[in-house]
């Protein structure tokens, strides 16, 4: 087996997690393949959309995690207010987005994921990002490595992935066509003054997967998102050799504030480069 599970999880736990995400992917695809007539869209209190697919995936994953690790609490995007009220006492818990990219799901772009992270002492130690339309799952275990996992012939197959070294002359920026704001424009202008810049757009947590496999160099995020959108990707990118920090240059801490909104962040594939510190300094200067 190519990985060491973070204690007290076992190899069997990891394989069960992969199976669970695969089942949730199948449930989501059932709704997706039914088309517009098969998906009822409602608005949550924050005006974000939720579908039957979100809720079906949520219940399947939560039930599966409770069976797998009954002692570990679960914080999901679709958790109840009562469950959310207890979260500040948790030091070890699962953080789940059962359908990341609901708008992409509704608009039928195919760019949606399932995100599952294990948080310990406010930091993610394990992350899984399932890509239902691609039929694979990205797995990252901090301090151990990262892989693409696919089920073939009744067995899980593992392909190791890692971030790439910073190219000499060109950069691939990972973003979304939905992300347009002054701080992002400022970052792109700064980088474009030093490199030939290519922008690769994708929805949901797919940008973390692209960064982890070396298909991009930087994912700047300056538009609103929640911690469950980020935690699994943070673990994956870190495990693959990259880094994700807030604009202060420090790692993000999860479930450490009253709000579950994520701070703005910068995820990079090659953290050894001085370029990223210069960019963060530039952004911090402009914020003052």
User: How confident is the model at residue 35, as a pLDDT?
Assistant: 72
User: How confident is the model at residue 288, as a pLDDT?
Assistant: 43
Q: Which residues of 191-213 are buried (b: 16+ CB within 10 A; e: fewer)?
A: beeebebeebebbbbbbbbbbbb
Rg from Cα positions in the chain: 18
User: How confident is the model at residue 50, as a pLDDT?
Assistant: 79
Superfamily assignment of 11-161 in CATH? Fructose-1,6-Bisphosphatase, subunit A, domain 1 (3.30.540.10)
User: How confident is the model at residue 100, as a pLDDT?
Assistant: 96
Render each residue's pLDDT in the chain as its tens digit; 288 residues: 688 899 889 999 999 999 999 999 999 999 999 875 546 677 665 556 779 999 999 999 999 999 999 999 999 998 888 878 889 889 999 999 999 999 999 999 999 999 999 999 999 999 999 999 999 999 999 999 999 999 999 899 999 999 999 999 999 999 987 777 888 999 999 999 999 999 999 999 999 999 999 999 999 999 999 999 999 999 999 999 999 999 999 999 999 999 999 999 999 999 999 999 999 998 876 544
User: How confident is the model at residue 84, as a pLDDT?
Assistant: 81
Among residues 40, 30, 176, 23, which one has the least CA distance to residue 106? 40
Domain 170-287, architecture per CATH: 3-Layer(aba) Sandwich (3.40)
Facing residues of 226 across strands?
Answer: 261
User: How confident is the model at residue 179, as a pLDDT?
Assistant: 72
User: How confident is the model at residue 178, as a pLDDT?
Assistant: 76
Four-point Cα dihedral 250, 251, 253, 259, nearest 10: 60
Domain parsing of the chain, residue ranges:
11-161, 170-287
């Amino acid at each position: 087996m190519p990985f060491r599970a973070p204690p007290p999880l076992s190899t069997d736990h990891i394989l069960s997690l992969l199976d669970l995400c695969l089942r949730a992917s199948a449930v989501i695809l059932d709704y997706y393949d039914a088309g517009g007539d098969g998906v009822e869209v409602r608005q949550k209190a924050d005006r974000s959309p939720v579908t039957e697919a979100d809720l079906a995936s949520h219940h399947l994953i939560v039930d599966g995690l409770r069976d797998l690790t009954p002692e570990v609490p679960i914080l999901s995007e679709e958790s109840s207010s009562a469950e959310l009220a207890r979260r500040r006492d948790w030091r070890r818990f699962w953080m789940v987005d059962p359908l990341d990219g609901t708008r992409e799901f509704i608009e039928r772009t195919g760019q949606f994921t399932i995100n599952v992270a294990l948080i310990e002492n406010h930091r993610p130690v394990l992350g899984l990002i399932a890509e239902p339309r691609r039929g694979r799952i990205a797995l990252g275990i901090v301090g151990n490595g990262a892989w693409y996992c696919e089920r073939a012939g009744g067995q899980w197959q593992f392909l190791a992935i890692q971030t790439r070294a910073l190219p000499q002359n060109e950069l691939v920026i990972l973003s979304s066509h939905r992300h347009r704001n002054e701080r992002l424009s400022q970052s792109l202008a700064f980088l474009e003054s030093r490199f030939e810049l290519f922008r690769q757009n994708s929805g949901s947590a797919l940008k973390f997967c692209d960064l982890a496999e070396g298909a991009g160099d930087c994912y700047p995020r300056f538009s609103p998102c929640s911690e469950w959108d980020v935690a699994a990707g943070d673990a994956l990118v870190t495990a693959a050799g990259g880094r994700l920090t807030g604009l202060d240059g420090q790692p993000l801490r999860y479930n450490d504030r009253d709000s579950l909104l994520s701070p703005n962040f910068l995820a990079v594939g090659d953290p050894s480069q001085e370029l990223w510190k210069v960019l963060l300094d530039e952004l911090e200067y402009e914020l003052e």
